[in-house]
Structure 1
Amino acid sequence: MPPRSRAPWPLVAVFTAGYLAAYLLPTVVGSLSAGLGLTPAQAGLVGSTLLSGSATAGFTLASRVERYGPRRLARCGLLLATTGYGCAALTSSVPLVVAGAAFGGFGSGTATAVAAAGFAGRRDPHRASALGLLTVSATAGALYLTLPHLGGGHALPFASIALVAAAVWPATARLESGHDTGEAPAPGAPLPRPRSGLVLAGSLLCWSMAQNALWGVSGRIGVTQAGLSEVTVGAVFAAALGAGLLGVTAAGALGARLGRAVPIGVGTVVIAGCVAVSSAADGLVTFAAGEILWNACYPVVLSYVIGLAASLDPRGRWAVLVGSASSLGVACGPVTGSVLSERAGYPGMGLVLGTLLLLLAVPLTAVALHTSGRPLVAGAVRRRGGAPAAVVAGTAGPGAGPVPQMGAPEQRVTEIPVPVPSRRRTAQRAYRLARPSDAPH
């Protein structure tokens, strides 16, 4: 992982290239439906295939980033993304488009895994993840403003993702090659806090699925139900992502002042209301209000969740696994949204998804409360001075001595046998010292 003193911008660039496909999902699904003549369900299935490849890469590489090296994996991921999305943009054959989307998705997931592991290894993972979401939101917002004016078809969204991946390639030169670190981590080391990590991964899978079920059909809601044009819908999406920029900036400035439980829990409740409003929109005002407020809260909550996952394991394995679970939920989103909208209509779909998000706010908040304020090392608070010692260790700078990292495994205690003299020998020695000296005066 990159040294802590090094700027996170190479990781932020790689994260942007890997996460951009998920942010452009409505445009990708809509362009597949319009350009290739696919039904909404078929177009959603292609989008799910893309994001399934991304999730597969994350689950596969969760514990292998350090072994293969961030630079090598990032370059492989960017190469796959550029090739896969580029091929999907250059062909009109549906099987080739699906294959290109799957390969590109695997490349995106590889790049995201490298960035997530790098964020977890930094001193402030929340700030690094907030910068990544800030950059990807700005890039996606610029594309939402630009692509509708360049024509229709499926080629433009895929080509834009491929070009961003190619443009990020030079940034990988500043990542570690895998041979720069001194000591490799012990293979097969168990994951710390498995219960919290599994609950967080499962909850985020459903959380991402619920939101991307609406995000995948938001374009169709704006056009068919709200009666807006493609250009107007693109402008609303750009404004929504601009609000996301402000939200992520505010989250980065706020930092840990409110902890993680309040932003995650309250933010998820607000998002649930926005989902219901946006899905029931019948005009520009309600559609724009729901989308803008929703996208302002979504990256804020996601940045805190990524920071929470990174704090569970400084090696970044939980960050990668939780991110992959999120990608799997995103992959299931378009199909779920298409099925729910066809069965219950857009307003009914919004009620179902909003209710699910309200229920998910409980375990997400519980994990944030359970892991906040935990000692840096297991048993450290009990044996080394209680909560004040943990606070001092957590706030000390890099020059504070050999303070273990957050979540680092406790050093094994080796018992050294020390011979203890018997009571009789101790008493004889004390008697000899107490006798007056026999030396002549």
Structure 2
Amino acid sequence: MSNAPTLIRGSGSLVAGAIAAQIVGGLSAQMSPFTVAGLIDGFALSERDAGLIASAELVALAATAIAFAPVLPKYSARRVSFAALAVTLVAQSLSVVTTSLAHLVVLRVVAGVGEGALYAVSLAVVASHCANPDKVYGYFQLVWALGSVALFSGGGELTSAYAHRGVFALMVAVSAMLTPLLCRVPGDRTRSGPTEVDAGSRNASIAGVMTMLGIALYLTASAAIYAFSAPLGERAGIGTRAVGYALTAATIAGLAGAGGATALNIRRGRALPISGFMICFVLTVIALCCSRNPTLYVIALIASAVIYYFSLPYVFGLAAALDRSGRWAAAAGSAFLIGFAVGPLFAGIVISAAGYVAFAAVCVVISVVAWVLLLGASRLAAEPC
């Protein structure tokens, strides 16, 4: 029997469904800079309070993904997807029309529950049905990069015009448009396949925990920078609308990162690419937080997008390699979401208490710890270094 990395029959349809689940599940995280900016404008909130509300949704998202990770193989991925979509669409729609801040917080948490289930499904389906998850996760990032060109342009305009209502309405529209593609999510339960390490071995368990911690820490720093990219832009003399267009340009450039990861794949292992993107990320953090030069801000923002889209296929691929039933991949998605949930809150607290330079210093320390953990997990998983 050939060992060539191929996908199962009907893989194109499966990947389309997984990508739809990924986008609907991850949309609130992707649009978090506009959510934060919209809440600040729409409810006259402080940076800390806006970050707290954004984090509440992402915490619910992460907690749901964590809860679903160990039990997903027992259920039909398609049924879970449609149930989660219904919850998400109702909560997102009501978020547009409510005038109560308290009600809005509750609705964002409910939306996070549906989004978390969809996000976990998207990762677990690929890990359990595809022989080369790294490459498919690379396709995820290519689609995110292409789609975000329109999302960021529209998000900047709608948030500038309608504050939080504008960005929430955009999320409703995108989720509704992608609904038909969820029919392509497999109706069967996820299955197990060959792994790079014995899924039940001590090394696999340790590598899995290290991978989750590394992803959570890396995304905490990355999401903190990303969620406050609009305030960072204003600090550099760039308004919210202009930040939207800067993010659009960054996303177009991010295609190079996603394409590079897809082309390079794991021919040189994962340790070298992981080291490369972590070093570059630290440099962009310093540039974004420690300079008020608008040109340097735009350059660093573009670089951060390239790094982000390049990095995710490798960290998710590492998790998928540990257990092809999809449990570690879904758990890695949970860790990703935990980082996105904690990031805005962490950023708001540190910036309010100590300023942007101290915020950069803390992000650098967190990133170095994440780098060490991911390298250790790569070696335990017997990846070539």
1:138 paired with 2:154, answer no
1:385-437 deviation line (CA, Å, top 9, x unaligned) = xxxxxxxxxxxxxxxxxxxxxxxxxxxxxxxxxxxxxxxxxxxxxxxxxxxxx
1:85 paired with 2:92, answer yes
Question: Which residues in structure 2 correspond to 1:39-438 (within 5 Å)?
Answer: 39-121=46-128, 122-150=130-158, 151-178=161-188, 193-223=204-234, 225-373=235-383
* Residue 283 (structure 1) shift: 2.2
| Match of residue 24 from structure 1 | 31
* Residue 162 (structure 1) shift: 2.0
Change (3 A) 1:245 1:356: same
* Residue 343 (structure 1) shift: 2.0
Give distance in 2, aligned partners of 1:124 and 1:182: 15
Check conservation: 2:37, 2:240, Cα contact below 8 A. Answer: no
Counterpart amino acid of residue 205 in structure 2 = P
Counterpart amino acid of residue 76 in structure 2 = G
* Residue 29 (structure 1) shift: 0.9
Check conservation: 2:213, 2:370, Cα contact below 8 A. Answer: no
* Residue 182 (structure 1) shift: 9.6
Secondary structure, in 3 states, of the residue corresponding to 1:178? Answer: coil
Check conservation: 2:34, 2:156, Cα contact below 8 A. Answer: no
Change (3 A) 1:271 1:96: same
Give distance in 2, aligned partners of 1:242 and 1:368: 30
Equivalent pairs counted in the alignment come to 366
Check conservation: 2:206, 2:377, Cα contact below 8 A. Answer: no
Counterpart amino acid of residue 126 in structure 1 = D
More divergent stretch after superposition (364-373 vs 79-88): 364-373
* Residue 61 (structure 1) shift: 0.7
4+ runs deviating over 6 angstroms: none
Give distance in 1, aligned partners of 2:84 and 2:208: 25
Check conservation: 1:23, 1:137, Cα contact below 8 A. Answer: no
Counterpart amino acid of residue 218 in structure 1 = S
1:237-257 deviation line (CA, Å, top 9, x unaligned) = 111122222210111011112
* Residue 175 (structure 1) shift: 2.2
Counterpart amino acid of residue 252 in structure 1 = T
Give distance in 2, aligned partners of 1:173 and 1:6: 14
Secondary structure, in 3 states, of the residue corresponding to 1:256? Answer: coil
**Greater helix share, structure number:** 2
Give distance in 1, aligned partners of 2:381 and 2:9: 23
Aligned residue among 43, 46, 62 for 1:36: 43
Counterpart amino acid of residue 353 in structure 2 = R
Q: Which runs of 5+ in 1 are unaligned?
A: 184-189, 375-441
TM-score by length of 1: 0.79
Give distance in 1, aligned partners of 2:146 and 2:91: 23
Give distance in 2, aligned partners of 1:123 and 1:113: 18
Give distance in 2, aligned partners of 1:368 and 1:162: 38
* Residue 316 (structure 1) shift: 0.6
| Match of residue 6 from structure 1 | 11
* Residue 3 (structure 1) shift: 4.0
Give distance in 2, aligned partners of 1:230 and 1:329: 24
Check conservation: 1:141, 1:238, Cα contact below 8 A. Answer: yes
* Residue 22 (structure 1) shift: 0.9
Give distance in 2, aligned partners of 1:170 and 1:270: 38
Secondary structure, in 3 states, of the residue corresponding to 1:66? Answer: helix
Secondary structure, in 3 states, of the residue corresponding to 2:108? Answer: helix
Check conservation: 1:32, 1:154, Cα contact below 8 A. Answer: yes
Check conservation: 1:16, 1:133, Cα contact below 8 A. Answer: no
* Residue 37 (structure 1) shift: 1.7
Give distance in 2, aligned partners of 1:282 and 1:22: 26
Check conservation: 1:67, 1:178, Cα contact below 8 A. Answer: no
* Residue 127 (structure 1) shift: 1.2
* Residue 369 (structure 1) shift: 2.4
Name the larger-Rg structure: 1
Give distance in 1, aligned partners of 2:257 and 2:241: 24
Counterpart amino acid of residue 219 in structure 1 = A
Give distance in 2, aligned partners of 1:136 and 1:290: 19
Check conservation: 1:265, 1:362, Cα contact below 8 A. Answer: no
Give distance in 1, aligned partners of 2:9 and 2:71: 20
Counterpart amino acid of residue 106 in structure 2 = A
Give distance in 2, aligned partners of 1:272 and 1:373: 24
